[in-house]
Structure 1
Amino acid sequence: MAEEEVPETEQAVQPEQLSVVATATDGIHVLTVAGEIDHHTGDVLSQALDLSGTPRPHVVVDLRQVTFMDSSGINVLIVAHRALTEAGGWLRLASPTGAVLRTLQLVGLDTVIDCHETLPQALTD
């Protein structure tokens, strides 16, 4: 039996993927985010945070699986915070770690948006 030649394929370099899983707990929308939040993936988070038409939306963004966030992510969170506040709701951040927490602290976002060490704290405070 002759050996089949497998064509060489070029693997495209793609930006780190971002996944957002939406659930609800006691009327609070929980967005569990994993990956990198940057100018390539910020729209994914922005779309998940768009709860227009929802009266008094309460949202927690769980950041424990986010490995990187640049200014695009900061801007998405600021826009969402303003929109949710104007709609009579709120936005909270849960479990930012490492570089993400440092980024939030550097720009002072952790003083504008409620930032909690754990998801249970963000859900109950």
Structure 2
Amino acid sequence: MVTATDGIRVVALAGEIDHHTADTLRHALDATDESCPRVVVDMGKVTFMDSSGINIFIAAHRALSEAGGWLRLAAPTENVMRTMSIVGLDGFVDCRASLSQALGD
């Protein structure tokens, strides 16, 4: 589900992020919407993420940065955070403990 809050696009995810869901996620994070280049992804209900998700978040981070915005990942579950830490995504993309923290400055 995609909503907007104070000029920030919020993408709420649930379930698994893998090659089956990659196209849907890629479309939701598309940086071509220049009116809203700031994106928060609520990951509180994501149970699994493979390299498809990692690659999509890296590409979205780059595209949004080039558009003058940013990408923040909010409330990743323990399993997903472990995956992000292993590959170093959490050092590249801004990860916040909660959705409210990700929406703040």
Instruction: Please give the alpha-carbon distance, in whole angstroms, between the structure 2 residues aligned to 1:56 and 1:86.
Output: 13
C-alpha RMSD of matched pairs (Å): 1.0
Contact 2:22-2:52 at 8 Å conserved across structures? yes
Instruction: Please give the alpha-carbon distance, in whole angstroms, between the structure 1 residues aligned to 2:89 and 2:55.
Output: 10
Instruction: Determine if the alignment matches structure 1 residue 108 to structure 2 residue 88.
Output: yes
- Give the one of 57, 60, 81 matched to 2:61: 81
Which ranges of structure 1 fall in alignment gaps of 5 or more residues?
Answer: 1-20
Higher relative contact order (CA closer than 8 Å, sequence separation 6+): 2
Task: Give aligned pairs, total.
Answer: 105
Shift of the 75–51 alpha-carbon distance from structure 1 to 2, 3 Å rule, reads same
Query: Which residue number corresponds to residue 8 of structure 1?
Result: none
Q: TM-score, normalised by structure 2?
A: 0.96
* Higher helix proportion (structure 1 or 2): 2
Which ranges of structure 2 fall in alignment gaps of 5 or more residues?
Answer: none
Instruction: Extract structure 1 runs of 4+ deviating beyond 2 A.
Output: none
Q: TM-score, normalised by structure 1?
A: 0.81
Percent of aligned positions with the same letter in both sequences? 63
Instruction: Please give the alpha-carbon distance, in whole angstroms, between the structure 2 residues aligned to 1:43 and 1:56.
Output: 20
